[in-house]
Structure 1
Amino acid sequence: MSPESAQDGPSVPTTLAPEDENAGGEEGGALSPELKDLAGKAVEYHESALSENTRKAYQRGWEDFLAFCESHGLEAAPASEQAVALYLSDRAEDLATSTLSQRVAAIQHAHDERGLISPTRSKGVQNVMRGIRRESNRTPEQAPPLLTEHVKEMVDTLPGDASPPNGTEAEAAWLRGKRDRALILTGFAGAFRRSELAALRVEHIESRPSGLLVTVPESKTDQEGEGQLVAIRRIEDSGYCPVKALRRWASVASIDDGPIFRGVPRSGFISRDAITGRTVGNAVKRAAEAAGLPQADDYTGHSLRAGHITQASMEGAPDAAIQAQSRHESDRAFREYVRPQRLLENTSSAHLGL
């Protein structure tokens, strides 16, 4: 079954559906009126088995799995054990384990509703989820934050307003540089997570005279998918304005709808598909290395988000304003970012007269 044909919603099991009153006869085993009413009730109970929120979460999870399979040429229904394992491994970088567990449940539900054997029950898939949970329970080393001075140095290594060079590969590299310039500045200004930045679409962006309002349709702290707003201010007379960089990339790439950040292969033909969170990390690392930053190999896509929080705190921005931008649900999680800088600002070691 192709991913397209797998998109239909949950079906009512034929064993529950009331028989057609015109089908069969007295000899054909037609249900009595009383049993027909009971069968109708059974269908209603089946359709009410899931809450509205669970149904919506399953729908989002299934659509995300479909998109992954389609972009990688994999069958979605019935899905293979390998397809599910690859999907979970890819999404583990950006989604909470609770969300991944919900995605597994969505894939299983979609298969069960279609009478298909679900690979989510396999030992291989369960081991992948077990490994992801174990890794997530370990205390991760925080990616070093990229501060404004670092971001400027990185962006300076990327194409500015110059015209594209001749030659297919040279033009592709130029386009990729324009994309990465917009990617880095937007990611830093918006304090986006890697997955949010990679999934940004034209229809998520509303232009205002003073900047952009970006709707993040689903994120780590918005599991119901209600959407969160992020504001990015236009910076006049600056060569590092994220709004200008984003518009220039969309212009040279002729992007009017769909994903903003797309793959740019050596052919120079810009992909129609969105990049992944891994691509964000690669772009950051590549620019950091080109700028000769001391910790270049340690920077990740998360360094842009961590850098926004750290730099804004250093500049005296109110915690409430920073937390509104970063959309941290937990005060404890937010303060893990600002605590090291606050310690340096307030340490008693500065008062020893050394």
Structure 2
Amino acid sequence: MTDIEAAATAPAPRLDSERRVLVEQWAKRHGVATAHRLAAAEDFADAVGKAITPENTDDTYDKSWRVWQRFCTKQGFPEDEGTRGALIAYVAWLLREGRQRPGPKGELGYAPTSARLHLEAAVIRLRKAGYPISKDTAAEARAALEGLTVQLLKEGERRGRGQAVAADVEGLHAIADACDDSLTGRRDLALILTGFNYASRASEPAGLRNGDVTVHPRGLVVSVLTGKTKHSVRQAKIPYASDPAICPVRAWIAYREQLVAEHGQQYTRSDDAAFHWIDQHGNIRFTLDEDGNRHYGLGSDGVTRAIKRTSTRAGVPIRWTGHSLRAGLASTGRRKGKDAVAIADQGGWARHSRSMLGYMRRDDGWEDNAAAGLT
């Protein structure tokens, strides 16, 4: 048996069809032992990639892959062939009829942002499975999507929910007035006031533990450890507010003190959830994961529901969503003259991020208009 044959058949770390070809090449150039060490390094790289990929990213890719499979079934295409024609047909189908159920306006096609996500996920999954898609092919499919999106705009068709309505200080006051002194009321107020002040996504308070929120003489330090990027993993400092009614620091302390007073010292543990699922009777509830472990904290959906429910009860004109707090810090901070870099650092954006700049929107387009005062 040759060295190449030995490398391909020996009990090396994972030898799928793609890895087998690489091992054969490495064995030919460097010998069997080195080929196995290189294969083990590849497995280690795969493990690192899996460890640093958030679970919700994998879930998103899985959902998008099912959309690609549905398209291929309808068209009679093999799902392992991401050809130029197939990908361009895919983006056209996504925009025209890709949804399984009509959207909020009765539309059958996806919004362009969703279509872009499905396209990118399909390209990534196909490449990982060993089916080559050139950069030119992927770029042409993206260009087709952009062009078709422009056509939709010219036809007066705008899809998607658009940006979340931004939380504002007036709304925070209304919410503070609407939250009672029950444990749920204390939790909702602390959730919204702290979330506004560090521009939280719904997933971020859901991932917080009690020990991630530290009381400091000047306020709170919130360790956000569930972000997807190096910018979103951050130590956000939240100072005391001048107005006690909407002070996030006071709201957090009041919530945690009442939680311990009503339910016991176990809720002082650092690994306790920051924000709990509380039923209508004030009891702490839990969910079970697939391994049977109990989770007492609100999930991302629970955070979003709490924000929507509380803003509706407070009479906020347009109901807030899970992203309203994030939009609110950026837009309010800009109106107050805060530096864009400081806003980016607090909210976990890359400095000069396009998405952050999008949140720094004007209420009506007249204030700070680029054309104002030119003539």
TM-score by length of 2: 0.57
Mapping for residues 232-271 of structure 1, pairs under 5 Å: 232-235=238-241, 238-254=244-260, 255-256=267-268, 257-266=271-280, 268-271=282-285
RMSD: 3.8
Q: Which residue of 2 aligns with 1:182?
A: 190
1:344 aligns with 2:366: yes
Q: Which residue of 1 aligns with 2:42?
A: 49
Any unmatched runs of 5+ in structure 2? 1-8, 14-30, 72-97, 100-109, 119-158, 261-266, 286-294
Whether the 8 Å contact between 1:150 and 1:293 is mirrored in structure 2 is: yes
Gap change, CA 1:142 and 1:121, over 3 Å in 2: closer
Q: Which residue of 1 aligns with 2:11?
A: 16
- Of structures 1 and 2, the one with the larger relative CO (CA 8 A, separation 6+) is 1
Aligned residues: 254
Q: Which residue of 2 aligns with 1:215?
A: 223
Instruction: Give, in whole Å, the separation in 1 of the partners of 2:64 and 2:322.
Output: 33
Instruction: Give, in whole Å, the separation in 2 of the partners of 1:300 and 1:252.
Output: 26
Q: Which residue of 2 aligns with 1:312?
A: 333
Any unmatched runs of 5+ in structure 1? 1-13, 19-37, 66-90, 105-119, 161-173
Match of 1:214, SS?
strand
Identity %: 27
Instruction: Give, in whole Å, the separation in 1 of the partners of 2:64 and 2:369.
Output: 53
Q: Which residue of 1 aligns with 2:298?
A: 275
List 4+ stretches of structure 1 deviating above 4 A: 38-43, 120-128, 130-133, 135-140, 348-351
Instruction: Give, in whole Å, the separation in 1 of the partners of 2:332 and 2:42.
Output: 48
Whether the 8 Å contact between 2:333 and 2:343 is mirrored in structure 1 is: yes
Match of 1:212, SS?
strand
Instruction: Give, in whole Å, the separation in 2 of the partners of 1:338 and 1:300.
Output: 17
1:327 aligns with 2:348: yes
Gap change, CA 1:211 and 1:205, over 3 Å in 2: same
Instruction: Give, in whole Å, the separation in 2 of the partners of 1:144 and 1:46.
Output: 50
TM-score by length of 1: 0.60
Q: Which deviations, in whole Å up to 9, do the C-alpha atoms of 1:76-132 show, x marking residues without a partner?
A: xxxxxxxxxxxxxxx4xxx5xx8944xx6xxxxxxxxxxxxxxx999589659x979
Whether the 8 Å contact between 2:167 and 2:327 is mirrored in structure 1 is: yes
After TM superposition, give the deviation of residue 15 of structure 1 in Å.
Answer: 6.0
Q: After alignment, is 202-211 or 279-288 more displaced?
A: 202-211
Q: Which deviations, in whole Å up to 9, do the C-alpha atoms of 1:9-42 show, x marking residues without a partner?
A: xxxxx96169xxxxxxxxxxxxxxxxxxx87656
1:199 aligns with 2:207: yes
Match of 1:308, SS?
helix
After TM superposition, give the deviation of residue 279 of structure 1 in Å.
Answer: 1.5
After TM superposition, give the deviation of residue 201 of structure 1 in Å.
Answer: 1.1
Match of 1:283, SS?
helix
Instruction: Give, in whole Å, the separation in 2 of the partners of 1:281 and 1:121.
Output: 23
Q: Which deviations, in whole Å up to 9, do the C-alpha atoms of 1:287-320 show, x marking residues without a partner?
A: 2221222212xx2011111111111111111122
Whether the 8 Å contact between 1:262 and 1:274 is mirrored in structure 2 is: yes
Paired amino acid for 2:11: L
Q: Which deviations, in whole Å up to 9, do the C-alpha atoms of 1:234-268 show, x marking residues without a partner?
A: 23561221112112222222322332112112453
Gap change, CA 1:266 and 1:237, over 3 Å in 2: closer
